[in-house]
A and B are shown apart, each in its own frame.
Chain A
Amino acid sequence: MQIELIVNDKSVTWDIEKDEFLADTLRAHGFLSVKKACDTSCCGLCTVWMDGKPVLSCSILSMRAHGKKITTIEGVAQAAEEFAHILTAEGAEQCGFCSPGFIMNVLAMKNELDNPTEDEIIHYLTGNLCRCTGYMGQLRAVKTYLGVA
């Protein structure tokens, strides 16, 4: 089947399988920042935005992206880079595999929450697993980015 959608501000028309999931569709079209690390909707690595909200692209049927705006890290490169610089200054991208999805959720959080507390930050980012860093460095980076102590 065919879907029409807007990916990173560009209109595209894609042929997809009916039971294809968005992460696979995006990767097939060259959005290689989208990573997958589980088959059970548990890890958050595949996070992209659908109409501005963070979602798990591994679990969203591509069909459901029809008529929607999809944003990957490539589409918010400037804001993402601003945070990525802080993240790398902490050394909190270790293998980096979880970073794009993590960054997408951090940016979504910034859009959604005003002055979040540490607990709120941790809660919002809970769905992003990371096996390398132990989370502390990521938290330091997020706090620096949001300007909270």
Chain B
Amino acid sequence: MFTVLDMAQPDKLEEAFEILAKRKNNTILGGCAFLKMSKKRIGTGIDLSRLNLDYIREDNGFIAIGAMATLRDLETNALSRDAFGGILSQSVRNIIGVQFRNGVTVGASVYSRYGFSDLLTALLVLDTEVELYNGGRMPLQDFLQKPYEKDILVQLRIEKSQRSAAFSSFRKSASDFAVLNVAVSSLDHQWTIAVGARPGRAVIAETASRALSQGHLSAEELEAAAKIAADELSFGTNTRGTAGYRKALCQVLVKRGIMEVLQCKSN
């Protein structure tokens, strides 16, 4: 169990960041589900509860999601629930349980860049920006490639569009971590395929996405794109599955994901 020596509940982001920067073991508190399991000795725990960051709202053509919005908010809020074929909602709705999702936060989930993250996989196929207090705004993909720096994730911004998307997650049992996550989206014939829980962090299958975008979406091309995705990405082995199995799953799930997107388009 982690210990916290001091607590701060700043009223301003500025102040929160100052405290964060002050000492190495000062730490932002999200919903604490993950922190709680660590053996961390935290100097000052920084609670963002007073910063009104628990919103999900429309903001100039973007869906803006505050860092302290919970996964349950993301699942049930009309704005996030209905956009992009509901993949935001779908990507989180099987994580543990309602009570759990009422506690854990979007900000922590994204900032931590967990390999197993369902949400990150879904966010990657949308036009998602991450806003950090210090680092400013950047595309999610850049954020994921950036070296880890102490900062505060303030909000996510997802550009609203007619993008169709599908998310699927392969789990051994319903409330387990995923063996593999796949998200697929398409907008104006541009396709994006993301694969997570490889078990490494979610990434975009660039070559496969490009191949799909350039083709005519014939059955053979779908199969081929799925195979390209499985071939271009790297997979690893952990207790939930071997690299070889993940690779095989990747091909199946990508193919199914593309077909699902095509289906929602035709509806």
Interface residues of chain A, those whose CB is within 8 Å of chain B, are 1, 18-19, 21, 39-42, 44, 47, 50, 53-56, 59-61, 63-64, 105, 108-109, 123-128
Total residue contacts A-B, CB cutoff 8 A: 78
How distant is A60 from chain B, measured CB to nearest CB, in Å?
6
Evaluate whether A41 and B96 lie within 8 angstroms (CB atoms) in the complex, with A55-B103, A126-B174 already known.
yes
Interface size class of B (residues with CB under 8 A): 20 to 34
CB neighbours of A128 from chain B (8 A): 97
Does the CB pair A44–B103 fall under 8 Å?
no
Query: Which residue, of B45, B98, B100, has the highest number of chain A Cβ atoms within 10 A?
Result: B98
Does the CB pair A18–B31 fall under 8 Å?
no
CB neighbours of A40 from chain B (8 A): 37
Q: How far is the CA of A64 from the CA of B33 in the complex (A)?
A: 14
Write out, one digit per residue, whether chain B residues 29-63 have a CB within 8 A of any chain A CB (1) or not (0): 10111001100001001010100000000000000
Beyond contacts A47-B99, A56-B33: 11 other A-B pairs, Cβ-Cβ < 8 A, are A18-B7, A54-B98, A54-B99, A59-B36, A60-B32, A64-B49, A105-B98, A108-B98, A126-B94, A126-B174, A127-B99
Evaluate whether A41 and B100 lie within 8 angstroms (CB atoms) in the complex, with A59-B36, A64-B49, A126-B174 already known.
yes
Closest to A48 in B: B99
Closest to A127 in B: B97
Closest to B4 in A: A19
Q: How far is the CA of A40 from the CA of B1 in the complex (A)?
A: 10
Q: Which 7 A-B pairs have the closest CB atoms?
A: A127-B97, A19-B4, A54-B99, A41-B33, A18-B7, A56-B99, A55-B102
Write out, one digit per residue, whether chain B residues 106-133 have a CB within 8 A of any chain A CB (1) or not (0): 0000000000000000000000000000
Does the CB pair A18–B4 fall under 8 Å?
yes
Q: Decide if B219 is an interface residue (CB 8 Å cutoff).
A: no
